């Protein structure tokens, strides 16, 4: 079976076999076998290619790292654990948002707290125009899943849906901005995710507890790690099930 993840990563970055071969110090035929026959490169080559395409080794070659190494790397991927999302310092959010240059991804219901940062929407628009990929996933305010979560968090019927519609008013200026894509999801949201390049805030959801009061993990992607990639793949799964947001 071909390594479609590697093939896709090379295509997305505009890299051909010769370019990768030079970067890894191998023959182009070797690179071709890595793709078409799913051969696993030596560790030094995996590292070089992962750096070249800005993906983790574990994403490109899920079975390459030993389980023990994955477990050790996962521990190192946890930058900090916060007892509540609201306890994350404002300067942490400012740094994550300000430094993101290639990717911003949000999976939440409303993400209303983000627009409390005065320049957040303008920053996203500028990043999108400069080539960053901005993907924002909001809960569908008319869905049963959102209505149920509103009840479970003790907000009252319809409150969360109204909060999402309120948030969309702030995000409306991003409609039709190059590089920005906004969608609705109807999933049971186990975690909210806020990714900025190779760092991510994962806001866990606790039954009966509003998101702001639930724990949060600050993660940093490591090439051989498995934890960050688990959440990143979950985002992709929800994205595939989502529909364009309506305003």
Kindly give the confidence (pLDDT) of every residue in the chain, 247 residues in length, as a single tens digit, with 9 standing for 90 and above. 888 888 888 888 888 888 888 888 888 889 888 889 888 888 888 888 888 888 877 778 877 766 666 556 666 899 999 999 999 999 999 999 999 999 999 999 999 999 989 999 999 999 999 999 999 999 999 999 998 888 888 887 789 989 999 999 999 999 999 999 999 999 989 999 999 999 999 999 988 888 899 999 999 988 667 789 899 999 999 999 999 999 8
Integer Cα distance of 183 and 174 in angstroms? 12
**Closest-CA residue to 215 (of 83, 25, 63):** 83
Residue 215 burial (C-beta neighbours within 10 Å; 0-12, 13-18, 19+): middle
Residue 239: CB atoms within 10 Å? 15
Integer Cα distance of 18 and 152 in angstroms? 55
Domains and CATH numbers, the chain: 4-64 (1.10.260.40), 74-244 (3.30.870.10)
Pairing mode of beta strands 103-107, 199-204: unpaired
Phi, psi of 138 (to 5 degrees): -110, 150
Integer Cα distance of 61 and 46 in angstroms? 8
Q: What is the pTM of this model?
A: 0.74
Residue 122: CB atoms within 10 Å? 11
């Amino acid at each position: 079976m071909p390594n479609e993840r590697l093939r896709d990563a090379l295509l997305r970055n505009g890299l051909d076999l010769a370019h990768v071969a030079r970067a890894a110090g191998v023959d182009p035929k070797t690179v071709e076998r890595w793709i078409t026959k799913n051969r696993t490169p030596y560790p030094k080559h995996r590292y070089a290619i992962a750096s070249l395409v800005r993906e983790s080794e574990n994403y490109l070659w899920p079975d390459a790292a030993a389980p023990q190494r994955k477990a050790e790397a996962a521990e190192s991927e946890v930058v900090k654990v916060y007892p509540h999302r609201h306890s994350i310092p404002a300067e942490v959010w400012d740094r994550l948002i300000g430094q993101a240059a290639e990717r911003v991804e949000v999976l939440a219901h409303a993400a209303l707290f983000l627009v409390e940062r005065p320049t957040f929407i303008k920053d996203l628009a500028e990043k999108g125009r400069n080539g960053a990929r901005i993907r924002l996933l909001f809960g569908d305010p008319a869905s049963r899943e959102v209505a149920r979560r509103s009840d479970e968090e003790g907000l009252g019927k319809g409150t969360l849906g109204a909060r999402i519609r309120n948030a969309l008013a702030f995000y409306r200026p991003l409609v039709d901005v190059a590089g920005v894509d906004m969608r609705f999801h109807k999933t049971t949201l186990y975690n909210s995710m806020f990714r900025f390049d190779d760092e991510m805030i994962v806001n866990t959801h606790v039954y009966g507890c509003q998101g702001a009061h639930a724990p949060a993990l600050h993660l940093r992607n490591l090439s051989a790690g498995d934890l960050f990639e688990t959440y990143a793949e979950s985002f992709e799964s929800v994205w595939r099930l989502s529909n364009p947001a309506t305003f």
